[in-house]
Chains A and B, each alone.
Chain A
Amino acid sequence: QKEVEQDPGPLSVPEGAIVSLNCTYSNSAFQYFMWYRQYSRKGPELLMYTYSSGNKEDGRFTAQVDKSSKYISLFIRDSQPSDSATYLCAMSRGSQGNLIFGKGTKLSVKP
């Protein structure tokens, strides 16, 4: 079993839809959870960062972490065509050290 599992999609939604992206993980030692967005032929950029369990909201984006279920989610409200990208979840055991990434979910938002 891989440490981090993420459905690669692709996921296609109409503009304005609510998007739900998810990752599961197996290592209970993970404490830091991130979501990155990656446009084609670009490096990933950090969208959301969460420490331990709970919710975090930033504009149209909400990140949720449920450590008891080893499950993290990213919700995008009022999705826009410009949100079309690959979304990667990432996590780390400690504040220093490498990030473990999911394979990424490719999202397409149709106008």
Chain B
Amino acid sequence: GAGVSQSPSNKVTEKGKDVELRCDPISGHTALYWYRQSLGQGLEFLIYFQGNSAPDKSGLPSDRFSAERTGGSVSTLTIQRTQQEDSAVYLCASSLDSVSTEAFFGQGTRLTVV
């Protein structure tokens, strides 16, 4: 595709359920980022993948959050046992190789936990 694609665009889930959010980066981009944007807050870093290197997971807020990137392309962010405070927009971005090249963002997945 032409840009970063995220699915679903909206997700409503019940508290305690698990959710999976998908990111399809721009073809050929080796760097992939996940961010969370809560109402009135800036973008909060979650996790960063660069090529075949071990991911930087330093931003994951709890062990309920995990992410993987298969084959260096598609990434899935999984939130287990969702809580109401997990409600936010989850944004994915990819860049050719690093922050010195433009990071392109997807439209985000709006997650609502009820």
Contacts and interface: CB of A to CB of B under 8 A. Distances in A.
Interface string A69-100: 00000000000000000001010101111111
B4 A97 contact: no
Contacts of A95: 98-100
A43 B42 contact: no
A25 interface: no
A101 interface: yes
A101 B91 contact: no
B102 A49 contact: yes
B39 to A, nearest CB: 11
Nearest to B59: A98
B23 to A, nearest CB: 11
| Residue from B4, B105, B106 with most neighbouring chain A CB atoms (10 Å) | B105
Nearest to A98: B45
Nearest to B105: A43
Contacts of A8: 40
A88 B107 contact: no
B56 A103 contact: no
Contacts of B59: 98
Contacts of A94: 99
Q: Give the 10 A-B CB pairs with smallest separation, nearest first.
A: A43-B105, A103-B42, A101-B43, A101-B42, A96-B98, A98-B45, A95-B100, A92-B99, A95-B98, A46-B102
Contact of B100 (A6, A32, A41): A32
B42 A6 contact: yes
Contacts of A49: 100, 102
